[in-house]
A = this chain, B = another copy of it.
Amino acid sequence: MIIDSVEVIPYRIPMRKPLEFASGRVDEIDHVLLRIQTTDGVVGIADIPPRPYTYGETQQSIIAVISTVFAPLLVGMSALDRGAIHRRMHRTVGNFTAKAGVDVALWDIMGQTLQQPVHRLLGGAADSVRVSHMVGFADPLKMVDEAERVREQYGITTFKVKVGRRPFLLDVDVVRALREHFGSAVELYLDANRGWNAAESMRVLDAVSDLDITFFEEPCDAAEILGRRRLVAHSRVPVVADESAPSLADAAREITTGGATAVSVKVARSGFSEAQKILALAEGLGVEAIIGNQIDSQVGTCGSVALAAGVNYAGRHAAELSNFLDMADDLIAEPLQIIDGAITASLQPGLGAKIDEDKLRKYRQDGKGN
């Protein structure tokens, strides 16, 4: 499993349906495909999503840090020496999704070499994972229509509603419309992506108090230290740290200082190794964890499925795995299937995410494609 070469390929795929939320709007995905090849010819892959509005990384920064800083550290090491590799990468600050991509590709190499699916190496907790679907900004009726379509077509019954607009009654109307349409047949939770301030968020909590909301994610900016803590202290609904808890240390700080009472865990920014630790922290401290979506392609989603199926504590809630439904295409050769509201964990060795080379040629942006 000695690492021989590292390849980073920028690519672009349009969204079939743009995803809009309080902190941004995604019309196309400009991701980086990472391929790490070993001297035995095994190729581990990861899909890396730049999210400048969340982590400050860009497609170009990811390519630069991997090819100029990380690749020289990686070549010649065994993919099994994850701990040593992480110590070396740790010397470079930030770059969450770039580091996570390296970690995911190492696990993919390990799984392929050992001929085991990654979710079983991670812990073998389950065979399949329940899916939660994210409903982006639109008029209330359109959002209800989308949720209904997704429920009918895929059997999904857990919805994360993107909120954080002003006036907030617009979003409250959406949530009320969803609850009235579905009754108690669905689970609903909110994600404001820091769209409101703490005082507004408190008013929202009152306005939706009869609507059985499971979680309230990033209602306001965690940097509004006291307001956020006052909100968390008053909220009966668990307040989820997502972009405010990208690392183990951030998660620990937010949880222990009253900034959050639940945490979102994303393979795209934590890899498997750090995600395992954050899940252990959450389990130890008794706060809920949700497997989140970084607007992941199907290639990226394979990693989230592996984590959710691998770790017991990750399986307590439906995982956010369906953002790929809004993408016009994908690099994956064998598309994921959502059936009866769940995705079955791949039994292929590694992540089971084979790349369609024709599509890669079509969408890559480094001049080596069609």
Q: Decide if A283 is an interface residue (CB 8 Å cutoff).
A: yes
Q: Decide if A281 is an interface residue (CB 8 Å cutoff).
A: yes
Contact among B114, B251, B284 for A248, CB-based, below 8 A: B284
Contacts of A312 in B (CB 8 A): 83, 86-87
Contact among B114, B283, B285 for A256, CB-based, below 8 A: B285
Query: Given A83-B311, A123-B83, A277 and B273 touching (CB < 8 A)?
Result: no
Q: How many angstroms from the CA of A83 to the CA of B311 in the assembled complex?
A: 7
A 221-255 binary contact with B (CB < 8 Å = 1; else 0) = 00000000000000000000000000011011000
Min Cβ gap A221→B in Å is: 22
Q: How many angstroms from the CA of A366 to the CA of B120 in the assembled complex?
A: 36
Min Cβ gap A310→B in Å is: 7
Q: How many angstroms from the CA of A165 to the CA of B310 in the assembled complex?
A: 47
**Copies assembled:** 2
Query: Given A114-B114, A280-B280, A283-B277, A84 and B252 touching (CB < 8 A)?
Result: no
B252 touches A123 (CB 8 A): no
Number of residues from A at the complex interface, CB < 8 A = 35
Q: Decide if A82 is an interface residue (CB 8 Å cutoff).
A: yes
Known: A78-B124, A278-B284. 16 other contacts (CB 8 A): A78-B120, A81-B124, A82-B124, A82-B125, A83-B123, A83-B124, A83-B310, A83-B311, A84-B125, A87-B125, A114-B115, A114-B116, A121-B121, A252-B286, A277-B284, A278-B280
